[in-house]
Structure 1
Amino acid sequence: MATRRLNSKFDLAASLRGFGHQFRGLNTNDPAGWPSGPRYVLCIVVAAVVVVALWFVWLSGVNDELEAERSKEVALRADYQKKVAQAVNLELLKKQREQVQQYVTLLEKQLPSKAEMDALLSDINQAGLGRSLQFELFRPGQVVVRDYYAELPIAVRVTGRYHDMGAFVADVANLSRIVTLNNVSITPQKDGSLTMNTTARTYRYLDEEEQAAQKAAAAKAKTKAKKK
């Protein structure tokens, strides 16, 4: 038994020495001419390097994908919480929407139609005459059409006493239709009276033809923007 063990150790040592001798004097420029042992070792090392490199490349791509999915998860959670809050407050939002619609309807009622504009201009003029003011200028300008309404500027110049002008401004503010006074300037006269220059702006809602024209213009503008 002892002899067999000695022979086994001797054979193993000899094999290791022989394997080690194969790595001596290798020509690095000609791996094909190496003994079988070094060639196998080289193949194993190259395969291991390739596997490790591919592993890290794949792992990096997976990590980027994971981070992207985490970002999506955060965005989806935020969107979900927002929609849940809207669903919980749905009835309240409906009531608020109704209130806003009622308020918009109220404001629309304060805007005259095209046919009522002449009557509104007469009301402004009568408000000044009723306060004993003298109109030196009352000239409606060019109508400016907006998205949902039309605006009419009126150049106004009146002469009178200070308190009468204040009462005139208050009367204009209390008209049933919306009228604003802009760019107000007051200058004293030699006789003690005052002259007020201002631009009165009144507004009216668009009739059906004007609304159709506005929608057509908006659609045309969108088409031009898409072509660009």
Structure 2
Amino acid sequence: MANPNLNIDLNAWFENAQAQFRGLNPNEPGQWPILPKLLSFLATGVAIVGLGWFGMLSSQSDELQAERDKEPRLKEEYRSKVAQAVNLGELRKQRIQVEEYVKQLEKQLPGKAEMDALLSDINQAGLGRGLEFDLFRPGQVSVKDYYAELPISIRVSGRYHDIGAFTADIANLSRIVTLHNLVIAAVNAKESKDNTGGNLYMEATARTYRYLDPAELDAIRAEKAKQKKGEKK
């Protein structure tokens, strides 16, 4: 059998609770009864916690997506490094071979003090083949990042086979010399010293190269640093 006193108390409590929510002035929440105040505080707290939790999850979600986007790149880097690690011994051997090759090439480049001797070698190569030098004029040195280039305008005259032998001698010099813009033609009989008119002349630009000494390299680096500094401004 239900207890009538309990029903009466519950009914009274519900009526009292409903009465506390009647006629509430939203502009004066401080004057509200205790029950509306508690419920409003609870709702506000739940809203704050919910918004904070949502905001935190949103930022975490963005970070998670950013990390996921990095995953393919990191996997590719990992594969590349694993391949390098597997072939590390072979790569070291290749590096040693490349360094030795570079040293051999550097030995073929004269230093600044050796350029006069190289120019003399080119001249002697022509004279040794019986050629006449109508022109032998070194040009302006062009400085590159790691070497300097010297162009030499030359014109020699002589027999066909002697000119061919001269170009072969130039190619076989211990130092690197290249021939560019070659022009070979018959010498006019009026211009020929022996008036035979059977000789040929060859015009070309011989280019030789030398390595830069430490002072020149330092000057180039300083100039580049100055240019970069000027670009940043």
Q: What is the deviation of 1:85?
A: 3.5
Residues 178 and 72 (structure 1), Cα distance of their counterparts in 2 relative to 1, 3 Å cut: same
Conserved 8 A contact 1:148-1:211: no
Question: What CA distance in whole angstroms lies between the structure 1 residues aligned with 2:23 and 2:210?
Answer: 102
Cα-Cα RMSD: 3.5
- Residue 15 (structure 2) aligns with: 17
What does residue 218 of structure 1 align with?
A: 221
Q: Partner residue of 2:209?
A: 203
* Structure 1: gaps of 5 or more residues: none
- Secondary structure in structure 2 of the residue aligned to 1:180: strand
* Match 1:111 to one of 105, 109, 112: 109
The 1-side partners of 2:211 and 2:27 are apart by: 91
Matches within 5 A, 1:136-215: 136-159=134-157, 165-185=163-183, 196-206=202-212, 210-215=213-218
Residues 7 and 166 (structure 1 numbering): CA distance in 2 closer, same or farther, change over 3 Å? farther
Distance 1:216 1:122 in 2: 29
- Aligned 8 A contact 2:125 2:169 in 1: yes
Which range moves more in the overlay, 100-109 or 134-143?
134-143
2:102 partner letter:
V
CA apart distance, 1:55: 1.0
Q: CA 1:10 to 1:194, structure 2 compared with 1: closer, same or farther past 3 Å?
A: farther
The number of equivalent residue pairs is: 223
Contact 2:129 2:165 in 1 (8 A): yes
Work out whether residues 145 and 220 of structure 2, in 8 Å CA contact, stay in contact via their aligned partners in 1: no
Alignment of 1:42-61 (within 5 A): 42-61=40-59
Higher mean C-alpha deviation, range 97-106 or range 170-179: 170-179
Give the equivalent residue in structure 2 for 1:26: 24
Match of 2:38 in 1: 40
Name the CA shift for 1:11/1:172 in 2 (closer, same or farther; >3 Å): same
2:208 alignment partner AA: T
TM (normalized to structure 2)?
0.74
**5+ residue gaps, structure 2:** 190-196
Deviation at 1:150, TM superposition (A): 2.9
Using the TM superposition, give the Cα deviation of residue 99 of structure 1 relative to its aligned residue in structure 2, in angstroms.
0.9
TM-aligned CA distance change 1:140 to 1:100, over 3 Å: same
Helix, strand or coil: the match of 1:49? helix
The structural deviation recorded for 1:15 is: 1.8
Identity %: 58
